[in-house]
Amino acid sequence: MQMSAGKLRSMRRLADENGFFKMTAVDQRPPIMNLIKQKKNVDQASYADVAAVKESFTKILAPAASAMLLDPIWALPNAHQHVSPHQGLIMTIEAHDFFEDEKGRRSHNIPDWSVAKIKAAGGDAVKALAWYHPDAHPETNAFQQKYVQDLGDACRKYDLPFVFELLVYPLAGEANQTQDYVEHASKQAKNVIDSVREFAKPKYGVDLLKLESPIPASQVPDFNGKDAAATQAIFDELGALCTVPWVMLSAGANMEDFYRILQYAYKAGAAGYLAGRAIWLKAAQKYPDIAAMEKELIQESLPYMARLNALTDASATPWFKHNGKTVTLAGADQNFPKNYRVDF
């Protein structure tokens, strides 16, 4: 498999020296805002409070990660100094709010933010989350597909990797319907798998898929238990659809549930993880005592990341060996200066 120079260099920066993705997300917005509102008993989370939480997360957790995922409003301006020059930097492009009606959910970008600005600001990759449900109204699904394809085209133009996060959501009237950023408790594996089947198509230009468990986290059985084979078959079906490397997201799963999810995902070919709440949510319960929260990050979150990283080293597939392929630089010959195309 050939990859353009910019994307190849950036994909290498996102991973560790062995090609494993051990990435931490602090781009979450509603989950952190809601935590602050709850803990401080306020109606709105202030800019300063959200920024302070994100800075603490980044300061403590970044040294254990191969790359960090930051948003451009709170995290990047206030925590950029804690991301090492040797680490990968992923920047979020989607707005945390979305439009929803009886036809489903529609995504949009953060106002005044673009792939071009992420490139100019030194980002190594663009991350976009799109909500999707195969049974949503065709107009809505067409809108979401175009949203993702347009981002893929822009990432090709600026030669930046496109990290695509795909989340299935409950339709109006379904059980456990909610607009919160929480895992759909009644989700069906078929809907997750059918969604991956769509966005794994080359036309979307995705370079790294960030996927949720096809089974609700609390229902994922012990990796060595009697129900493991049936669960593994579902993860294997998911992995077989991935035409590009893929990582797991935690979607608010607790530490042990997410660890089990990774065991199945790695056996199915995943290249690592890009997770947030499974890593830092327990420590965040100490808020608004920042010192206590940071102590918990050091005593609980960092050892947990060490466990995840050890599992990743032992069981994941290096991204450059996805599906048994070898990644090479596109156009690697004497005509590279002439043939390497940029459109900006």
Domain 2-339 grouped into CATH 3.40.50.1970: no
Domain ranges of the chain: 2-339
What is the per-residue pLDDT for 343? 79
- 260-305 pLDDT per residue, tens: 999 999 999 999 999 999 999 999 999 999 999 999 999 999 999 9
SS3 content of the chain, % helix, strand, coil (to 5): 45, 15, 40
| pLDDT top residue among 174 and 115 | 115
Phi-psi region of 79 (alpha: psi -120 to 50; beta: other; left: phi over 0): alpha
CB-based contacts of 269: which residues, under 8 Å, 6+ apart? 239, 242, 246, 317, 322, 323
Length of the chain: 344
3-state class of 177 per DSSP? coil
In this prediction, residue 246 has a pLDDT band, given cuts at 50, 70 and 90, of: very high
pTM: 0.96
Whole-angstrom Cα distance, residue 22 to residue 63? 11
What is the per-residue pLDDT for 175? 54
- 111-169 pLDDT per residue, tens: 999 999 999 999 999 999 999 999 999 999 999 999 999 999 999 999 999 999 999 99
Is 70 exceeded by the pLDDT of residue 181?
no
Strands 99-101 and 104-106 come out as antiparallel
Q: What are phi and psi of 247, to 5 degrees?
A: -130, 165
Q: With contact defined as beta carbons under 8 Å apart, do 165 and 103 qualify?
A: no
Whole-angstrom Cα distance, residue 293 to residue 286? 5
